[in-house]
A and B are shown apart, each in its own frame.
Chain A
Amino acid sequence: MSILIDKDTKVLVQGITGKSGSLQAKIMMEFGTEIVAGVTPGKGGMAVHGIPVYDYIAEAKKDHDFNTVISFVPPAAIKDSSFEAIDAGIRLLVVTTEGIAQNDVVEIIQYARNHNCYVVGPGCAGVIAPGITKVGSHPDRFFKPGRVGVVSKSGALSYEICKTLTDAGIGQSTVASIGGGPIWGFSQKDAVELFEKDPDTDVIVLLGEIGGNQEERAAEYIAKHVKKPVVSLIVGRNAPQGKSLGHAGAIVSGNVGTASTKINALTNAGATVVKNPTELVEKVYSYLNA
């Protein structure tokens, strides 16, 4: 098993005729993801890499079954298209789009919550269950099937750490890359909760970064509910105050969101906090073989 996605995941791609949507749809299909349809308003009737394209999701729903949507829709249209996806009764929406107005993000997430749908993102790389399926942009050569569950804000950091794990022979059950914030749908705490319940995950890796309080909330949950070992790496220890380093959410202001607050919270919750990828692999290896 895995979290969020599994062998029954059937995907519709929103914005499939765009440059990124088309390329990623192709890469996902080559990986083995079951993509049943695509949607771009005005492009209904065409096909992208053999995938039928519709104007509206309701039209696609008449011909196909799907439970998951990945969206490459530009910021101006993302709110409405996300509502459309959620209205179709899906259980997971992955939003890759960056640069969305924050009040729009709030509405998308609230609407999804009201309809029992997970939103991963926005501005995220998505989710991969190595060897099974992926709904995202993870380069699959850095991943292999295994028993480590990984959650990361940053997409690239999840690739980096999984590359190091894979090179050391350690595979992953699911890797969720949830985006750079400052507002998230699916959270680090949500991921930890699902990994704790997932029978095929033995060790949880939490990749955090400065800014916000996601890591602290995950730590609260870990302290109360998590029995599996959690290994965590918090990046941005040497970042300057008050400046965002690429992720809108990765900013320290005053005492809020500092690396040390997060490291302390996770350490006190019983997680093992490491300083670099090399240490991370050592710890994960020792927990897997304990």
Chain B
Amino acid sequence: MNLYEFEGKRILSDFGIPVPKSEMIYAKDADAPLTYPFVLKAQVLTGGRGKAGGIRVCANEAEFKKNAAEILDMTIKGHRVNGLLCEQMVKAERELYLSITLQGVDRPTLIISEAGGMEIEEVAKTNPDKIIKMEIDPFTGLKDYQLNSLAKLLGYPDVQDLIALIKKVQKAFFDTKALLVEINPLGVVDGKLLAMDSKFVLDDNARNMRNKIEAIEEERKKLANVLAVEKEKTTITFVPLGSGEIGLISDGAGTGMLTLDLIYDGGGKVASFCELGGTTSAEVMYRAMKLTMESGFPIKSILVVLIGGFNRMDDMANGITGYIKDHKLDIPIFTRMCGTMEEEGKRIMAEAGLATYYDLTETVNQCIKASLEVK
């Protein structure tokens, strides 16, 4: 779960990390919550707000009213602005970068740089020697020698302040089982470190954070433009791809991707990709059929690729035939079925008058042919 800046800063603050004084504004007619001058910051789950004009200084009431109204109407990189963070103006003497991440790495990794305030990917390209990375042992955390060497490498004068802050960020990261805690810029204001921005990614699988995540979701209802996204409650991954004729369902991510490649290599196109997830039931298969058929794409055929390990083919067959019994199906369905409980699965399919296949390449080719013919 990606957090808005204001949500992330609250967590940082809970862990004793200094953040500027701030209040949230949800509506255009709100009163100024702080004394001038302050900064209005668009709350969106994407970067590049500053360049898009989503961060503005307000010196008086007239500027505040105008800026608040304009920013609340903005869309930044496809994201509608969701409320404003009104933050006390601070002047940073220096801007650093600090993050702890578990994204794209095998171990929690601390990244720190004297070149804060710009995208770290940009610094990595132009000034790679200005980035310091250090892996963190999950059982010990950063050791004292690591922290001391970091402070030396960075050449930051107030070593104690820096180390204390890194320890707090580390505690925030591990206690919340986060995937990313990023503070960029980490400002130096009146000689002290201050988190001027926040990017926080929580792990949806972290059980100790369930209540926190629910509380955040509840509070988000106050935001003007949050779309109520209906969460898929099953293990299914459904990805609309658009502009294709084939609805693809598979009981494995790897075989699903292989089939996707085989379809494109064979001249077909896929409207939607649906993967059932781990050990699944007839109900999950039924749901996959429903999602695929009701995707809104004009699909011409369905391709179901099943190879049962944990999954049972009788359950899968019951899911498919159950859906067809309830909804009828006016397009051809091609089902490759083999593995655990294969014979029983085939029998259930045959009783419903549905063919099954054994060879994947042949099934794919038949399905492509049908999807092109029905036009």
- For residue A72, give the distance in angstroms from its CB to the closest CB of chain B: 10
Instruction: Tell me the nearest residue of chain B to A183, going by C-beta.
Output: B106
Q: Answer yes or no: B206 CB below 8 A from chain A CBs.
A: yes
- For residue B252, give the distance in angstroms from its CB to the closest CB of chain A: 2
- For residue A165, give the distance in angstroms from its CB to the closest CB of chain B: 13
A139 pairs with B261, CB closer than 8 A? no
A111, A157, A244 pick with most chain B CB within 10 angstroms: A157
- For residue B336, give the distance in angstroms from its CB to the closest CB of chain A: 10
B207 pairs with A156, CB closer than 8 A? no
Interface residues on B, range: 35 or more
Segment of B225-233, B270-278, B296-304 in the binding face: B270-278
Q: Answer yes or no: A101 CB below 8 A from chain B CBs.
A: yes
Question: B240-283, CB under 8 A of A: which get 1 and which 0?
Answer: 01000000001111111110111111000010010101110000
Q: Answer yes or no: A47 CB below 8 A from chain B CBs.
A: no
Question: B76-111, CB under 8 A of A: which get 1 and which 0?
Answer: 000000000000000000000000001110111000
Among A75, A155, A212, point to the contact of B104 (Cβ < 8 A): A212
B207 pairs with A246, CB closer than 8 A? no
Segment of A8-16, A31-39, A59-67, A271-279 in the binding face: A271-279
Residues of B within 8 A of A253 (CB): 104
B253 pairs with A246, CB closer than 8 A? yes
A238 pairs with B264, CB closer than 8 A? yes
A107 pairs with B253, CB closer than 8 A? no
Beyond A20-B310, A106-B138, A275-B265, whether A156 also contacts B252 by CB under 8 A is yes
Q: Answer yes or no: A240 CB below 8 A from chain B CBs.
A: yes
A156 pairs with B254, CB closer than 8 A? yes
Complex: A99 Cα to B257 Cα, angstroms: 20
- For residue B99, give the distance in angstroms from its CB to the closest CB of chain A: 15
Residues of A within 8 A of B278 (CB): 98, 123
Residue tally, chain A, CB below 8 Å to B: 62
Q: Answer yes or no: A121 CB below 8 A from chain B CBs.
A: no
Question: B137-180, CB under 8 A of A: which get 1 and which 0?
Answer: 11100000000000000000000000000000000001001110
- For residue A205, give the distance in angstroms from its CB to the closest CB of chain B: 13
B102 pairs with A106, CB closer than 8 A? yes
Q: Answer yes or no: A247 CB below 8 A from chain B CBs.
A: yes
Q: What's the count of A-B pairs with C-beta under 8 Å?
A: 165
Question: A150-166, CB under 8 A of B: which get 1 and which 0?
Answer: 00111111111001100
A245 pairs with B252, CB closer than 8 A? no
Q: Answer yes or no: B307 CB below 8 A from chain A CBs.
A: yes
A156 pairs with B262, CB closer than 8 A? no
B206 pairs with A250, CB closer than 8 A? no
Residues of A within 8 A of B308 (CB): 139
Instruction: Tell me the nearest residue of chain A to B177, going by C-beta.
Output: A103
Complex: A106 Cα to B203 Cα, angstroms: 13
- For residue A189, give the distance in angstroms from its CB to the closest CB of chain B: 12
Residues of A within 8 A of B139 (CB): 107, 110-111
B137, B310, B338 pick with most chain A CB within 10 angstroms: B310
Q: Answer yes or no: B32 CB below 8 A from chain A CBs.
A: no
12 contacts across the A-B interface (CB closer than 8 A): A20-B310, A75-B205, A102-B179, A106-B108, A110-B137, A125-B309, A155-B310, A156-B250, A164-B360, A245-B253, A250-B253, A276-B262
Other contacts beyond A246-B256, A276-B261: 14, CB < 8 A: A75-B205, A103-B108, A103-B174, A154-B253, A154-B255, A160-B254, A160-B307, A180-B254, A209-B254, A235-B258, A245-B239, A245-B256, A245-B273, A247-B254
Please give me the 9 A-B residue pairs with the lowest Cβ-Cβ distance, nearest first: A154-B254, A156-B252, A157-B254, A246-B253, A246-B275, A235-B257, A236-B257, A247-B253, A101-B206
Task: Please report A residues at the B interface, Cβ cutoff 8 Å.
Answer: 19-20, 24, 75-76, 98-104, 106-107, 109-111, 123, 125, 137-139, 142, 152-160, 163-164, 180, 182-184, 207, 209-210, 212, 233, 235-240, 243-247, 250, 253-254, 256, 275-278
